A and B are shown apart, each in its own frame.
Chain A
Amino acid sequence: MKLIVNGTTHDVAAPPAMPLLWALRDLIGLTGTKFGCGQAFCGACTVLVDGAPTRSCSVPVGAVENRLVTTIEGLVRNGKDHPVQQAWLELNVPQCGYCQAGQLLSAAALLERKPRPSDADIDTAMAGNLCRCGTYLRIRQAIKRAADIKDGRVTP
């Protein structure tokens, strides 16, 4: 079947029931998307499907054929870091980093929906992404910073 990931079409020999996560990681070799819980509780596997944050561990690969999948590897556009990446770097957000691909993609999707998210917007949009190292306060700050970068109020 054909999977479109970060603008590239991949021919993947996967049973349709295989979760997108394992097709990305084991078959295509894009390991930036992480396995955390397998049941959509932790958000480590978050990717964007047609722009919407999606838990790739719980979506069968058959359901996303011919849809646009964006992973952490595809967040850079035209050689330029996405504003959330710029803000994450600036505020030194990650600790172990394992959950951060999911955090970044959830944050990027939030900013598409709400360019100036409130604290409550951030807590609601990000509550599905666990971080065991406890980087939550920096994530809150970085999303606000990314919003500023995105609408040109500041340059990183």
Chain B
Amino acid sequence: MTTSLTRRDFIRVSAAAGGLLLGVTLPADAWRRFQGQQQARIDPTLFARIAPDNTVTITVAKSEMGQGVRTSLAMLVAEELDADWGLVRVEQAPFDARYGNQGTGGSGSVMEGWTQLRQAGAKVRAMLVSAAAQEWGVPERECSTEASFVVHGKSGRRASYGAVAERAARLPVPEQVTLKPKAQFRILGKARSGIDVPDITHGRATFGIDVKVPGMLYASIERAATFGATVKSFDAAAARQVPGVRDVVQLPAVANGVVTHAGVAVVAENTWAAMQGRKALKVEWEPGPHANESTPSYHEFMSQAMNRPGAETVYRVGDAEGVLAQAAKVYSAGFEAPFLSHATMEPMNCTASVKGDQAEIWSPTQFPNWAAGATAQVLKLDPKNVRLHVTLMGGGFGRRINPDFTVEAALVSQKLQQPVKVVWTRDDDLRHDFYRPCAMHRLEAALGPEGLPVAWRHRMSTPAISATYGPPRDGGYGKGVAAGVGPELPYRVPNQVCEYTLLPSGVPRGWWRAVESTHTIFALESFIDELAEAAGKDPVEYRLALIAQVPPGQSEEDRKYPFDPERMKGVLRLAAGKAGWGKSLPRGHGMGVAVARDHLIYCAEAVEASVENGKLRIHKVVCAVDTGPIINPDGARAQLEGGVVQALSAALKERITIAGGAVEQRNFDSYRVLRINEAPLAIETHFIETDTEPTGMGEAAMATLAPALANAITRATGKRPRVLPLEVAAT
């Protein structure tokens, strides 16, 4: 039974199998964060369902990649529903336009869901109370709820949610509900284990690569190693002789915002046979326009860009050039960062079944909307005929935003008219990623009489991420690159200029956890330490003296979550204090700090490191974060611990290099990532829960680790590393 809606954009209720379904509108404003995605018309809904046995099934419409979103979003609904957490089950939403923005990234899931998901829970709860009150013939105001029961205090009567759900489903949805004050939270703010942890520890969790559908074949794709290369010819005779191989099909490169590579797919009865068949392929490639690009050629281009005014002026205030030209001394430093691969532990994969004009897809995707939309577009299917299931992901970190692996699998299945699972090898995964861009920065500053900067020039050159997907918006690419710098510089400097020059490159770029701040904040927070030293000031005090108001930008988020210098100072003081900043350290040890506001999260990190006989050891990382109220403290800590380790991995080890227009790294022997024996000995996490709406957590620890470490290494060794991954000088 379905009741009519009381408000057009709000709610849908229906009774299904004795349960209650509820949907709530999510705002469409988070779409901006990523470029190139499909801007589908949104009719977003999110569901909570109560079964007669009193279990609560909460549908999560964001993708789980280890960030704990299936736990934290369910907690938001369960809190206001006043559910018994032990009775909560979580169901993954398929792609469905009614859920609105299912895109998972940018540390935005809790921020987007904070009000809407709690309201969803509160409205279901109100309907359950109404239903029980009607059944008992008592006023609603005399009823309360506790842990999935409605209670009538005066008479002592109790009804489980399950017992009144069917009646509740027939009631109108209330327009207004009052959300709980924080003091009444029973679920939020209390540590919960990850909802999928029992399945994971028993090998029962189903990741994308574990999907099996009846009649499914397996495919392995030989892709153009050189970006932009095309298939000149291929000989599949030997491949077809490999036992188990069923078919060989050619794939075109897709362009125009969806990037896939030219290739040849070998389809077989199992993964191993497909891989063996692929080895027997002979493919001749047409090298294309990027075959002469290389890491040295990019380095040369960016180095030259540092010596002349940028192609774009990203930000300007006062007269930086004039003051720098007159200054007795100009401090200058250059920084460089390489391309990075996401290297999720689960290689890219997708299972697709395309028959005629219908497609059904099982994809470990962060952006189901984009994956389904791109599939429809490339396969020329009606978008409403593309059904997409979202699986668990063995890591995402931004790699699974792109729809390439989904589209490829659908293309192979379309050619076969049979279900097929495409599994990438590690080689495929490392060589056909969407990479964190390489980057070069030069910062220059003149200091005033107090040692504080009076003029500041920041030049940047990178292959902008957005240039992978289309022409520039807002007149250029530089604004999208300048995370935490340029217009977002949190430090008071009266004369500033920030310039950007696009590095042309055939290497596809994408969103790598925390995105541009992984190199911009490295440069900024290293340089500010250099200036503090030049001024003879303590790096923490120097920053505290400089942190100033950042004027809000044009975006809705900038207005809704305005920069607060006191919160930035707060995390810096907390991290420094907890780390024992200023205490005497053993010989060979150094401590460094860095602070940033990235993805609307204030984070400071203090790193204590030592270098002995050229061997670096990270003794302790202290991480202090202010992102407002914490939903799941244990999950939040896990995100910071993991962020520290992953950021440390990038800071010390990871580097993608290009030769002949292709990636050189092919497995974890050449693309080295941090192992347990290289992990910090201790990571401490601290929160300041400012009474505001929460923002995010997934990317919080990423930006400040590398500069805090570089600053620590500088203090330990007297030599400043300015190139990522950091090289540690022997002492």
Task: List residues of chain A with CB under 8 Å of any chain B CB.
Answer: 15, 18-19, 22, 25-27, 29-39, 41-42, 44, 71-73, 75-76, 81, 85, 88-89, 92-101, 104, 122-124, 126-140
- Inter-chain contact A134/B202, CB cutoff 8 Å: no
Q: A39-B426, A94-B194, A96-B65 are in contact. Are A127 and B394 (CB under 8 A)?
A: no
Is the CB–CB distance between A37 and B667 below 8 Å? Answer: yes
Q: Is the CB of A98 within 8 A of B395?
A: yes
Determine the residue in chain A with the shortest Cβ distance to B191: A92
Measured in the bound complex, the distance between the Cα atoms of B674 and A32 in whole Å is 24
The 0/1 profile, CB within 8 Å of A marked 1, for residues 634-656 of chain B is: 11001001111110010000000
Is the CB–CB distance between A34 and B202 below 8 Å? Answer: no
User: Which secondary structure characterizes the binding site on chain B?
Assistant: loop
Given known contacts A99-B345, A124-B677, is B201 in contact with A89 (CB within 8 Å)? yes
| Cα of A26 to Cα of B273 in the assembled complex, Å | 11
The interface residues of chain A lying within 8 Å CB-to-CB of B202 are 32, 72-73, 75-76, 81, 85
Contact A22 to B270, CB < 8 A, known contacts A85-B202, A133-B395: yes
Complex Cα–Cα for A127 and B193 (A): 26
Q: Could you say which residues of chain B place their CB within 8 Å of the CB of A131? A: 345, 645, 676
A79 to B645 CA separation, bound complex (whole angstroms): 35
List, in ascending order, chain A residues with CB within 8 A of B635's CB. Answer: 92
B630 to chain A, nearest CB (A): 15
B677-692 interface code vs A (CB 8 A; 1 in, 0 out): 1011011000000000
Give the segment of B172-180, B203-211, B527-535, B709-717 that binds chain A. Answer: B203-211
Grouping DSSP codes into helix (H, G, I), strand (E, B) and loop, the A interface class, with mixed when no group exceeds half, is loop
B183-195 CB mask vs A (1 if < 8 Å, else 0) is: 0000000000110
Contact B65 A122 (CB under 8 A): no
**Does the CB pair B203–A88 fall under 8 Å?**
no
The 10 A-B residue pairs with the shortest CB-CB distance, nearest first, are A32-B203, A134-B645, A98-B394, A96-B66, A72-B203, A97-B200, A95-B66, A134-B642, A123-B677, A41-B668
B346 beta carbon closer than 8 Å to chain A: yes
Q: Is the CB–CB distance between B676 and A42 below 8 Å?
A: no
Q: Most A CB atoms within 10 A — which of B218, B634, B642, B649?
A: B642
4 more contacts with CB within 8 A, not counting A89-B193, A138-B641, are A89-B201, A133-B66, A133-B642, A137-B683
A127 to B676, CA, bound (A): 5
Q: List 30 A-B contacts (CB under 8 A).
A: A22-B272, A31-B209, A34-B346, A38-B426, A38-B667, A42-B668, A73-B202, A75-B202, A76-B202, A94-B66, A95-B66, A95-B68, A96-B65, A96-B345, A96-B393, A97-B66, A97-B197, A98-B394, A100-B200, A101-B203, A127-B677, A130-B673, A130-B675, A132-B344, A132-B397, A134-B643, A136-B645, A136-B679, A137-B682, A140-B676
Q: Which residues of B contact A136 (CB under 8 A)?
A: 645, 674-676, 679
Closest CB in chain B relative to A99 CB, distance in Å: 5
Given A36-B345, A73-B203, A104-B201, A130–B66 Cβ distance below 8 Å? Answer: no
Decide if B668 touches A35 in the complex (CB within 8 Å). Answer: no
> What is the bound-complex CA distance between A31 and B677, given in angstroms?
28
Give the Cβ gap from B391 to chain A, nearest Cβ, in Å: 12
Which chain A residue has the least Cβ–Cβ distance from B269?
Answer: A26
B216-236 interface mask toward A, CB cutoff 8 Å, 1 = contact, 0 = none?
001000000000000000000
A30 CA / B673 CA spacing, docked (Å): 28
Instruction: Tell whether B198 is near chain A: CB-to-CB under 8 Å.
Output: yes
Chain B residues, Cβ within 8 Å of A89: 193, 197-198, 201
Q: B607: which A residues are within 8 A, CB to CB? A: none
Is there a chain A Cβ closer than 8 Å to B450's Cβ? no
Q: A35-B347, A42-B668, A140-B676 are in contact. Are A100 and B395 (CB under 8 A)?
A: no
Inter-chain CA distance A95–B393, complex, in Å, is 10
Closest approach, in angstroms, between the C-beta of A109 and any C-beta of chain B? 15
Residue of B nearest to A100 (CB): B200
Q: How far does the alpha carbon of A95 sit from the alpha carbon of B346 in the complex, in Å?
A: 13
B196 contacts the other chain (Cβ, under 8 Å)?
A: yes
Residue of B nearest to A27 (CB): B270
**Is A96's CB under 8 angstroms from B638's CB?**
no
Contacts of A133 in B (CB 8 A): 66, 345, 395, 642, 645-646
When the two chains form the complex, which single residue of A29, A38, A104 contacts B212, counting CB atoms closer than 8 Å? A29
For A132, what are the chain B residues with a Cβ–Cβ distance below 8 Å?
A: 343-345, 395, 397, 646, 673
Chain B interface size, as a band, is 35 or more
A24 to chain B, nearest CB (A): 11
Is B272 in contact with A92, judged by CB distance below 8 angstroms?
Answer: no
B67 touches A (CB below 8 Å)? yes
Q: Does B425 have its Cβ within 8 Å of any Cβ on chain A?
A: yes
Q: Any chain A CB within 8 A of the CB of B474?
A: no
Residue of B with least CB distance to A37: B426
Is B300 an interface residue, CB under 8 A from the partner?
no
Given A85-B202, A101-B203, A137:B679 Cβ within 8 A: yes
Which residues on B sit within 8 Å (CB–CB) of A33? 203
For B271, list chain A residues within 8 Å (CB): 22, 25-26, 35
The smallest beta-carbon distance between B207 and chain A, in angstroms, is 6
In the complex, what residues of A have CB within 8 A of residue B426's CB? 36-39, 41-42
Residue B243, interface by CB 8 Å = yes
Note all chain B residues with C-beta closer than 8 A to A101: 203
Closest Cβ of chain A: how far from B250's Cβ, in Å?
Answer: 24
CA distance A39 to B343 in the complex (A): 15
> Contact at A95–B67, with CB atoms within 8 Å?
yes
Shortest distance in angstroms between B182's beta carbon and chain A's nearest beta carbon? 24
Over the window 39-81 of chain B, the binary record of Cβ atoms lying under 8 Å from chain A Cβ atoms (1 yes, 0 no) is: 0000000000000000000000000111110000000000000
Most buried by A among B68, B272, B426: B272
Measured between beta carbons, the chain B residues less than 8 angstroms from A97 are 66, 196-197, 199-200, 205, 207, 392, 394
Residues of B contacting A130 in the complex (Cβ-Cβ under 8 angstroms)? 345, 668, 673, 675
- The one of A19, A85, A92, A140 in contact with B193, judged by C-beta atoms closer than 8 angstroms, is A92
Residue on A nearest B194 in the bound complex, by CB = A92
User: Taking A36-B426, A129-B676 as contacts, is the C-beta distance between A98 and B218 under 8 angstroms?
Assistant: no
A81 partner residues in chain B, CB cutoff 8 A: 201-202
Q: Is the CB of A135 within 8 A of B203?
A: no
Q: Closest approach, in angstroms, between the C-beta of B193 and any C-beta of chain A?
A: 5
- Is B272 touching A26 in the complex (CB atoms < 8 A)? yes
Let me know if B423 is at the binding interface, CB within 8 A: yes
Q: Contact partner of A36 among B67, B347, B392, CB < 8 A?
A: B347
Contact A41 B66 (CB under 8 A): no
CA distance A94 to B201 in the complex (A): 8
Q: How far is the CA of A72 from the CA of B203 in the complex (A)?
A: 6
- The reply to whether A127 and B675 contact each other, CB–CB distance below 8 Å, is yes
Instruction: State the CA gap A122–B676 with chains docked (Å).
Output: 9
Q: Are B345 and A44 in contact (CB under 8 A)?
A: yes
Residues of chain B contacted by A15 (CB below 8 angstroms): 243
Could you say which of B193, B201, B669, B682 has the most chain A C-beta atoms within 10 Å of its C-beta?
B201
**Are A41 and B203 neighbours in the complex by a CB distance under 8 Å?**
no
Bound complex: CA A88 to CA B393 (Å): 19
Within 8 Å by CB of A88, from B201, B394, B668, lies B201
Give chain B residues whose Cβ lies under 8 Å from the Cβ of A128.
675
Check B200 against A37 for contact (C-beta < 8 Å): no
Which of A26, A41, A99 interacts with B218 by CB under 8 Å?
A26
B425 touches A135 (CB 8 A): no
Q: Could you tell me the distance between the alpha carbons of A127 and B368 in the complex, rounded to whole angstroms?
A: 35
